[in-house]
Amino acid sequence: MLVEKRKTHKAEIPTASLADIVFLLLIFFLVTTTINVDKGIPLLLPAAGQTRSVPKGNILNILINDYGEVLLQGEPIQIPYIQNEIRRRVQENANLIVSIKTGKKTKYEIFIAVVDQLKLADFNKISIADPEA
Amino acid sequence: MKFQKKTGGKPFVPTASLPDIIFLLLIFFMVTTVLKTFTGLQVSLPSAEKIEKLESQRHVSNIWLSRDGTISLDDKIVPQSEINAIGTLMYEKRVADPQLIVSLKIDKEVEMGTLTAVHEQLRRADALRINYATLFKVTN
């Protein structure tokens, strides 16, 4: 019986495809990491104890009651119409400040809808008054 | 003058270090992505049209307010009776990070009375930059 002599050759791990494998890993991580971006309505609260006197004529009062009904300067208004009303009033008086006053039991959703309307009118001078008891 | 003849050889781009470069990229991405670390409370957020992205994820502190009135500050439950603790805790956070933005994740059914109490605490803590987390409302 003839035993064939084994050829000696250097053992090697093929590394040519390593780059591809790592690329695949990279792409996998890029795809699976969900960067959950927080979205929302930014607002700046006034500092504690900071009060500013504003001429009465520059204040526009928005009242929201517990049932989600909205009064704008004493007149009832539907929420989707606030945007245009604010735009109109800002044109009349550029120094306008909107004060939002809610009831204690007003739903947060209604409040956000009203703030959103103001933001839609590109209006940022919003003041939040303490709710009525 | 005699020029030495260049030794002829196949030109090639060295690819031996390519995996290392890509590994580095991979590690860079893994380190820089901020993973969501808070689980929060079960809230159904209100929706709004004019919403903005939060500029940074690193300077954000989260407050959850759920329908049943539970308040959670960065995954720590704050009992309603100890609402003053929010002000103290937020003040510490605010001192540690002056760029702090407070993201308020509030259920749409929450009543404004509770929200005002939270506002009051935030004002006390001087954490004035807030963000009402909302979903995007699709307008038809």
Residue of B nearest to A42 (CA): B131
The verdict on B11 touching A (C-beta cutoff 8 Å) is no
Across the range B90-102, mean pLDDT stands at: 88
Query: Does the A57-132 domain belong in CATH 2.160.20.10?
Result: no
Nearest CA in chain A to B60: A38
User: Is pLDDT larger for residue A94 or for residue B57?
Assistant: A94
* B50 and chain A in contact, CB less than 8 A: yes
- Distance from C-alpha of B119 to C-alpha of B127, rounded to nearest angstrom: 9
- Asked if residue B134 lies in contact with residue A129, where contact means CB atoms within 8 angstroms, the answer is no
CB neighbourhood size of A115 (10 A): 24
Distance CA B133, CA B72 (A): 15
Q: Tell me which residue in B111, B123, B131 faces A38 most closely, judged by beta carbons.
A: B131
Higher pLDDT, B49 or A2: B49
Distance CA A100, CA A65 (A): 11
Which residues of chain A does B126 touch, with a Cβ-Cβ cutoff of 8 Å? 47-48
Mean per-residue pLDDT for A115-133? 82
A30 and B27 Cβ atoms separated by less than 8 Å = no
What percentage of chain A reaches a pLDDT higher than 90?
A: 0
Question: What local confidence, expressed as pLDDT, does residue B6 receive?
Answer: 66
Min CA distance, A55 vs chain B (Å)? 24
Indicate the CATH number for domain B47-136. 3.30.420
In the predicted structure, residue B140 carries a pLDDT above the cut 60: no
Mean pLDDT (whole number) for A6-28:
80
Indicate whether A114 pLDDT > 80.
yes
Residues A79-106 have pLDDT tens digits of 888 888 888 888 888 888 888 888 888 8
Could you tell me the maximum CA-CA distance found in chain A, to the nearest angstrom?
114
Task: Note the pLDDT tens digit of each residue in A32-65.
Answer: 776 666 788 888 887 777 677 777 778 888 888 8
Q: Taking Cα atoms as reference points, which of A121, A114, A11, A6 lies closest to residue A63?
A: A114
Every domain of chain A and the residues it spans = 57-132
Buried/exposed A8-47: b ≥16 CB within 10 Å, e otherwise: eeeeeeeeeebbeebeeebeeeeeeeeeeebbbbbbebee
State the pLDDT at residue A80: 87
CA A79, CA A118: separation in Å to the nearest integer? 10
What is the pTM for the complete model shown?
A: 0.73
Spell out the domain ranges in chain B. Answer: 47-136
Beta-carbon contacts of residue A24 (< 8 Å; ≥ 6 apart) = none
